[in-house]
Every structure is written in structure tokens, then in C-alpha cells.
Structure 1
Amino acid sequence: MTFRRGGAGSPLFLRVFALMVVCVAVTQLMNFALLIAVQTPTAKLYTVGQAVDALRGKPGDDDFSVSREEHFTEQPWNPRGERTEIAMAKAMGVPVERVLITFPTPFLTREKSYDRASVPRPMSPASVQAARDVIITGDFTAAYRADDGRWVIVTTVTGFEPWRWFVLWWLIVSAAAVAPFAWALARRIAKPIGAFAEAAERLGRDPRAAPIAIEGPSEIADAAAAFNRMQARLNRYVDDRATVVGAVAHDLRTPLMRLGLRLEAAPDDLRQACEGDIRDMEAMISATLSYLRDTTKQGVRKPLDLRSLAETVTDDMSDHGEPVTLAPGGAVVVEGNSPALKAMLNNLILNAIKYAGSAEVSLAEADGQALIEVRDDGPGVPPEDLDRVFEPFFRGERSRNRDTGGIGLGLASARAVARAHGGDLVIRNREEGGLSALVTLPV
């Protein structure tokens, strides 16, 4: 089978690379525009007089917070702090030892160490007013030791300045500008992956489903073509195996017929025993051909109501005197092949009737799954045989009597139909006795 790549486009990695370059370019353009638009922030200026008024408890300045503490940690000496402390002491009229000032250390930097001997001692301001007019740049913490020995501490209160709001809104606008490109990139990457997930799910439900469309970037087109080739190979493999088994089973009928003719001259007791074996072999051949036909035949799938299908099966069996009941309920719609699902339900009910004498059928829908349960009140199945009952030709009834034990293909055929529809079939022993066969099908 040949797949054409007429719809393949440019490679996916080139598309992703191009979108990433566009995103980076847009971000850089926004940052460049921010660099031009925003004004350089200036440090706030204070005077020694403002700090002194705050230390003395004068109200009216919201730029400072005042507290009283037992101790105050002094910073290492620096020229700026010494000059400001001398001016504050002059303005307050107290010894310089009772005044301290500290400045915030820049983030991720160390406080610079100064050599006191190499820096000239600053001069005290000429007057109190000159001292009050000394400028303090930026944030600071000033402390004054009161007469009771406690420290009066004044700290600048910095609000969220207008330029910070501008930068914050600019970052939000930049993210909004880049978001469409990021969304397009994520969509381009996720869409092919989602398509492959849907195709894998569809292949599990229906191996004969239509191939994936060969379109999109070259990598996706190549992967889709490989997936389609894998699906075709799997179908050919299954078909070849089924054809070989079916041909062998069909051709066995000819030697069996010749054996029957040759037994005409045999003694009665030998002829009757051999004819019984021949009938058993013919029944097995018929059951095998029927199993292959049910599991390989691809019928048309369309939406159908499982309850109507179950009512048809149970009503037909009830008309023939079989003790089978169907629990009431609403419609349960699935997409499937009606003859195959009907044969599956028929196998499960007949299996329950054969081993338990009666069957109870119920249908429900939960979590996107259609549930079909067939219960009986029979002896159940030994725990070690719960998985083996689905093996072809395995019979839980050990007498080897075909009239009571069957051929051993009913449950295998039923599970094959359920799995071909994307579901499954499991059986379990009921706590109150009997067996429960539960079929799950996607709604």
C-alpha cells in the first residue's frame, strides 16, 4: 500500500524555531520601548531637619515611622554616616555619641570597608539651620538615645512609586503581546500529538478504521505514513493467520468424509465409536470457522441502542422457553456492528443458561462506558480458571462431553467482539454465588 505526502509542509522544527524567534523579537522590542519610555527613577531626598523633627516626635510627616527600642545595631564606620550624624547632633544640640544613622546595604553586595585614618574628619555645620538643611539621599534609619537610655528610631517609609507601577503594567502588556505567539506554538505542537492519540484509540476500537490523513509538517506526515503502514501490516498479519486457520479447518472436512465412507464396512461397535469422534471433529471445525468468521468479519458500524438489541435476544430466547430476564432501564447508545454484538450477547446468555440454568441481563452507562452484565446463579468458576476460560477450546466442564461442555469458543469469541469494539469482557465469581460476565464498550 502506498501513501502519498501531498499535504506535507515545511519541517516542524523550522516552524517552532521561527515562532520562538518571533516571540523573542517581540519581547526585545517591548523591552527596548520600555527603555525609551520610562524615566530614570530618582532617589528621594530628605533633610536632617525632617529626621530631627521625627525623632523629637513632631507629627505631620508620613514619610517616617517611629519606634522605641532597648538596643540599636550600629553599622561599620563610613564617611557618609559620620557627616550625617555630626549634622544631626548639631541640629538636636546633643553629643554626637547619642546619634546614629544607618543606610540600607545594596542587595547581594557587601558593606564597603573604610580606613578611618585616611579620611579627613568632617567639619560641623556652622549653624543649627545649616545642619538642618543637610541633604540625606535615599532611605535611612536614624536613632537617638534618649535620657532614659532607650533608643528612639526613625525609619523612612517607601511607598510603591509611580515608575514601578509603570514597569509592572508594561510587563503585563508584554506578556499579553507574546501570549498569542506562545499559544500558536503550543497548538502547533499539541495538535499532531492529539491526532496520533485519537488514531491510536481508533485503531484499538476498529483495526479497519480509515488511515490518518497525510498532512502537516514533514515530520508529522512521515509519522502518519508510518502509522498507516503499521496498521496495514497488522491487518494483513491478522488476515493471513485467520486465512490459514480457516483453510485448514475447512479442508479437514474432506478427509473426515472419506473416513466416514471407509467406516461403512467396519464392525458396528467400531463404526459407531469412530462416527461419534468424527461428529465431534466436525462440530469443532464448524465452531472454528464460525469463530474466525465472527472475529475477522468487518461489518458496518453505526449508532445503535444496546437495550433494543438485548431485548431482541432475550425475547427470542424467552419465546423458546429459556429462563432469561432483562432488567429495565433507559437507552444505551454505542457505535458498533449489530450482528457481532448480538452474537456476543447470545454467547454470554447461552453460556449462563448451559451451566446455571438461567441468566439475568442488565445494562447501564457510567463514566463514558456502556456496561452489559450477564449474571447467573450457577457454581461459578474456580479462581485459577478465571483467565483461562477465554482461551480457545478451553472448557471449564471437565467431562469432555460436547453436549454439556460445548466446544470452548463461546467466551473467546465474545471477548474478541468486545475488544474489536474498543471494550473488554471480564468474568468474576459473585459473592452471593454464581458468575458475572461484564462487557464494557465505549459510548
Structure 2
Amino acid sequence: MNEPRSAAGSPLFLRVFVFMLLCVGVVQLMNLILVVAAQTPEQKLHTIGQIADAVRQGPGEPDALTVAPASKIPTVPANPRAERLGLALSMVLQVDPSRVRFDFPPGLLARRPVYESRNLPRALPFADSTAARAVYVFGTFRVWVQRTDGRWLRVEPAGVVEPWRWFGMLWLLMSVLAVAPFAWALAHRIAKPFGAFAAAAERLGRNPHTEPLALSGPSEIAEAAAAFNQMQARLNRYVDDRTTVIGALAHDLRTPLMRMALRLEAVPDGVRSACENDIRDMQALITSTLAYVRESGQPAARRPLDLRSLAETVTDDLSDRGEPVTLALGDPVVIEGDSAALKAMITNLVSNALKYGGCADVSLERHNGEVRVEVRDRGPGIPPEDIDHVFEPFFRGERSRNRDTGGIGLGLASARAVARAHGGDIVVENVETGGLCARVTLPG
């Protein structure tokens, strides 16, 4: 574990901590600039005279007051300040005080001066309406006035949010935009190693002999990458050891079979013929097992090749023997792969189609960045309960024990091993019009 540590950078938690401090520092700097550079907000003032003029003839200044009919008059809570202002407005409008309702809505926008006191007298010490017109109204308010025709009007300031508040909200947005690049960089730096691990796990599932992860980045990530590479190496050794054992057993079985064949020369003809058939079946099984082990255990040697030309060599060879095989026309399909293994895969699929379906129709195409190879036949298909088992080694859909009609049961398993070694896969499905379709998908 010392080697990953030497290749690693600073710890991940330290990087995150530094980035967070940097983000906090940027936000505090923006707040300091706001405190120093922002101007003192102006107090929003209206007079009773302006409100009275708005009631009589509409708002006197654009965007100062809004006047609108009121269909519903709410119950105004008792408020000494509102009552005094209502009395002043009724004096200016020369209407009964019961026809005027003054209210300051609760909340942050309803600012009341600190010098107001509930112990002040309710009567207004104004000699006339001229003095009442000069009374100031601070903050946000709402006034309902009943006109002579019985209709109610509502008067309130036009701007609910003062300009300085808009400036503050805009500054907060600018602060967020200033911190966003740092937050994005932090999130990207944290998520990138996880994406690399996910991609490595996907590659490992497709090809156990894929390149190991690079031991770079923070020390925690380097240690995790080293552990992942060790796991990959152990898995490969585990699979290779068991594959080697199976191959060795299959290879060593040839010697006793050969001795049995020699000893059968002294056996009566009837018994010798039956035993020779069993020996041939066992030799065919051993040969297929060795081929399966060789194709599934060795990494594919990749080089650019034309998959369509490879399929043509298989179909042309079978057509020359009189087999009903066709290959759909199309453009060349160039991929990276092992030509010998891919040719064996196509041969297995086409041979299965000919054996069980009576014909084989092969087609190749590119679809969504992948290469598809389809082999169709017009046979009876496969029972639905066998679809999930056809790729298992030594499984035979044909239930007889005859090797000539049922085969060994390693053809599809070997074909899928080749496809997965190239980063693809194989699926089989029954076609609605009849027959079976084996579909190979390979990286394009």
C-alpha cells in the first residue's frame, strides 16, 4: 500500500475543506462590499394629503399610489396609530370617520416608528384640514374609503418592494453566481472519482482483463483504486485457475480414452461398436470443452477488422456446401476485435440455425453506437421456459441424448463468451412470424 500513497496527492477531506473555506470567503467578501458600497435606503413617505388626492382624482404621481375598487372590506384590527391617521384622512376628505379604515399589514414591510405610543390621545390636535394634510405616513399601509355612492376604494403604495430591497436581492443573486463556479468545481472533483470507479466496474464486467485503474488523485481515491486493482487481479487469478483445472482435466482424459479404444480391439464386434460410439462422444465433448475454455479464458487480441467480410467468409463457405444461408447486403462494419474468435462465434450461431431451424439469414447493422449481428431461422423456436438456459454450458434444447441431433451444448455458451470478451452480449428470442433470432451486440 506504500506505492499508492506515494502517487497520491493531498487528502480529499483537506481539498473539500479548503474549497468550502474559499466559498465562504467569497460570500463574506461580497457581503463586505455590499455593506461598504450600498447607500442608506431612503424612507418611503406619503402624506395624508396625497392619499386624499388619490381618493378624489386618482394617484397624483406615477407609481406612487394605486387606487382600485374594493369588493370585500376586511376587518381592521385596533391600532392607535391607524385610528389617528384615519381621523386625519376623514378630516381632509370631510367624511364621517366610520367611512375610513386605515391598516398597516403585519410583516417585515410594515414598519412602525418607535416613537408611537398607545397612550397618546385619540383626538387630533389640528386646527384645520391643512394641518392634517401634512401628516406623514411611514412604510406600507392600506386605506379603505367609502365614497358617497356607497362604493369602497382601496389605496396603497404602488411599489411593494423598495428599490434598495431589489438591489439587495440582486446582490444576493450575484453572490450565488460568484460562488457557483467554486461549488461546481468542488462537486465535479468529488464526483469524478466515483464516475471513474463506475466505468471501471463496467469494463471489468465486460472484460476481466481490462486495464487497471490509474493510481492518481487524492490519497483516499488512490487507495481505493489500488484495492480495486487487487480485486480485479484476484478475480482473474480465481477464474484462470479454475479454467486451467478444467482444461487440464479435459486434456488428460484423452489418454485413458485412447487406451480404452486400443483394448476394445479384443472385444466382440457388437460390444466394441457400442463402446466406440461412446468413446467418440466423449472425445467430441472433450474437444468442445477445450475450445470453450480456450475462448472464454484468453483475452481477445484486438485489431481493426471488417465484420461484414468476416461474416461473408462464413456464409460463403456454407453456401458452397449447399446450405441455405443468406447474408443481407450493406456497408462495411469496421470494429476492433479478434477475427478468429468472432468468426467462431458467427459460425456457432449460423450452425445452430441450420441444425435446428433448417436455414440461416444473417444481417449486420449499426444502431445507436453499437453493431448488431442477427442470425434468424425459420424453425420451431425455443420453448419460453428454455430461453434463460440456452447459454448455460452443456444445456441442450433438444432433449434426446443423440449427439448428432442434440449437439454438445457448448455452442451458444462459447459464442456468448466471445461476445462478452469483446464488450458485448448475445440474446435469443422467438420471432412472432416463426423461428428464432440470435442477436449479438458489440461496441461500435
What is the TM-score when the length of structure 2 is the normalising length?
0.91
Q: Distance in 2 between matches of 1:48 and 1:272?
A: 123
Which residue in the other structure is 1:23 paired with?
A: 23
For 1:368-388, what per-residue CA distance to the aligned partner results, in whole angstroms no more than 9, with x for missing partners?
221111111223222222233
**Which residue is 1:270 aligned to?**
271
Aligned to 2:355: 354
Report the AA paired with residue 39 of structure 1.
Q
2:163 and 2:70 mapped to 1: Cα distance? 33
- 2:2 & 2:171 partners in 1: Cα distance? 54
Residue 12 of structure 1 aligns to which amino acid in structure 2? Answer: L
Task: State the partner residue of 1:100.
Answer: 101
Aligned residues of 2:140 and 2:160 also touching (Cα < 8 A): no
Q: Which amino acid aligns with 1:241?
A: R
CA contact (8 A) 1:72 1:143 kept: yes
Q: Among the aligned pairs, what percent are the same residue?
A: 61
1:311 aligned partner: 312
**3-state SS, counterpart of residue 390 of structure 2:** helix
Q: CA deviation at 1:126?
A: 1.9
Other structure's SS at 1:9 match: coil
**Structure 1: segments with no counterpart, 5+ residues:** none
Between the aligned partners of 1:122 and 1:239, the Cα distance in structure 2 is: 102
- Whether 1:170 aligns to 2:194 is no
- Matched to 1:41, the amino acid is P
Q: Secondary structure at 2:343's aligned position in 1?
A: helix
**Residues 117 and 410 from structure 1, CA distance in 2 versus in 1: closer, same or farther, beyond 3 angstroms?**
closer
Alignment of 1:321-360 (within 5 A): 321-360=322-361
Residue 192 of structure 1 aligns to a residue whose secondary structure is helix
Report the Cα offset of residue 333 of structure 1.
3.1
Q: How many angstroms apart in 1 are the aligned matches of 2:195 and 2:51?
A: 66
| Secondary structure of the corresponding residue to residue 153 of structure 1 | strand
Which runs of 5 or more residues in structure 2 are unaligned?
none
Please give the alpha-carbon distance, in whole angstroms, between the structure 1 residues aligned to 2:69 and 2:253.
108
1:44 and 2:18 matched: no
Task: Specify the SS of the correspondent of 1:216.
Answer: coil
Give the Cα–Cα distance (whole angstroms) in 1 for the partners of residues 389 and 156 of structure 2: 82
Instruction: Report Cα offsets for 1:3-38 as digits up to 9, x if no partner.
Output: 644321122122112111211121122112212221
Provide the rounded CA distance (Å) in 2 between the counterparts of 1:358 and 1:145.
Answer: 95
The question of whether the paired residues in 2 share the 8 Å contact of 1:303 and 1:334 is answered with: yes
Deviation for aligned residue 1:119: 4.1
The answer (yes or no) to whether the contact 1:26–1:178 under 8 Å persists in 2 is yes
Aligned residues of 2:50 and 2:60 also touching (Cα < 8 A) = no
Work out the CA distance in 2 between the residues paired with 1:102 and 1:127.
Answer: 24
Q: Residue type matched to 1:359 in 2?
A: A
- Mapped to 2, the partners of 1:405 and 1:59 lie a distance apart of 97
Letter of the 1:8 partner, please give it. Answer: A
Alignment correspondent of 1:140: 141
**Counterpart of 1:75?**
76
Contact conserved, 2:99 with 2:145, CA < 8 A, in 1? yes
> How far apart in 2 are the matches of 1:219 and 1:430?
51
Moved more, 426-435 or 156-165: 156-165
Match of 1:382 in 2: 383
Structure 1 residues 380 and 67: CA distance shift in structure 2, 3 A:
closer
Partner Cα separation in structure 1 for residue 247 and residue 65 of structure 2: 96
State how far apart, in whole Å, the 1-side matches of 2:131 and 2:142 are: 21
Cα-to-partner distance string for 1:366-417 (whole Å, 9 max, x where unaligned)? 2222111111122322222223322222223333222332222111111111
Q: 1:427 to 1:73 in 2, by over 3 A?
A: closer
Counterpart Cα distance in 1 of 2:293 and 2:46: 95
Residue of structure 1 in register with 2:228 after alignment: 227
- Pair 377,121 (structure 1): closer, same or farther in 2 beyond 3 Å: closer
Shift of 1:277: 1.5
Pairing of 1:117-156 with structure 2 (within 5 A): 118-156=119-157
Cα deviation digits, residues 83-140 of structure 1 (max 9, x gap)? 22332233333443443322222249999xxxx9954333331233212212222232
Q: Which amino acid aligns with 1:285?
A: I
Q: How does 1:84-99 map to 2 (within 5 A)?
A: 84-99=85-100
CA distance in structure 2 between the aligned counterparts of 1:19 and 1:127, rounded to whole angstroms:
67
Partner residue in 1 for 2:53: 53
1:32 corresponding residue in structure 2: 32
Label 1:379 to 1:236 Cα distance change in 2 as closer, same or farther (>3 A).
Answer: same
Letter in 2 for 1:128: S
User: Which whole-Å CA distance do the structure 1 matches of 2:407 and 2:210 have between them?
Assistant: 34
Amino acid at match of 1:18: V
Please give the alpha-carbon distance, in whole angstroms, between the structure 2 residues aligned to 1:279 and 1:68.
104
Please name the residue that 1:238 is paired with. 239
CA contact (8 A) 1:327 1:361 kept: yes
- Alignment partner, residue 369 of structure 2: 368
Distance 1:261 1:145, change over 3 A: closer
Distance 1:99 1:347, change over 3 A: closer
Deviations 1:330-370 (A, max 9, x none): 23333222211110001111111222332110112222221
| 2: CA distance, partners of 1:158 / 1:151 | 21
CA distance in 2, matches of 1:59, 1:392: 90
In structure 2, relative to structure 1, the CA distance for the partners of 1:127 and 1:341 (3 Å cut) is same
Deviation per CA, 1:181-228: give whole Å up to 9, x if none: 112101101211121122112212221111111011111111111111
CA distance 1:308–1:5, change in 2 (3 Å): farther
Using the TM superposition, name which of 400-409 and 246-255 deviates more. Answer: 400-409
2:126 alignment partner, SS class:
coil
Question: In 2 relative to 1, CA 150–404 (structure 1 residues): closer, same or farther, beyond 3 Å?
Answer: closer
* Number of positions where the alignment pairs a residue of Structure 1 with one of Structure 2: 440
Q: Which has the higher mean CA deviation after the structures are superposed, 129-138 or 244-253?
A: 129-138
Counterpart of 1:401 in structure 2 is 402
| 1:66 partner SS | strand
Counterpart mapping for 1:283-302 below 5 A: 283-302=284-303
Q: Would the alpha carbon gap of residues 342 and 19 (structure 1) be closer, same or farther in structure 2, given more than 3 Å must change?
A: same
Note if contact 2:143-2:154 (Cα within 8 Å) is conserved in structure 1. yes
Shift in Å, 1:2: 9.7
| Equivalent residue letter for 1:13 | F
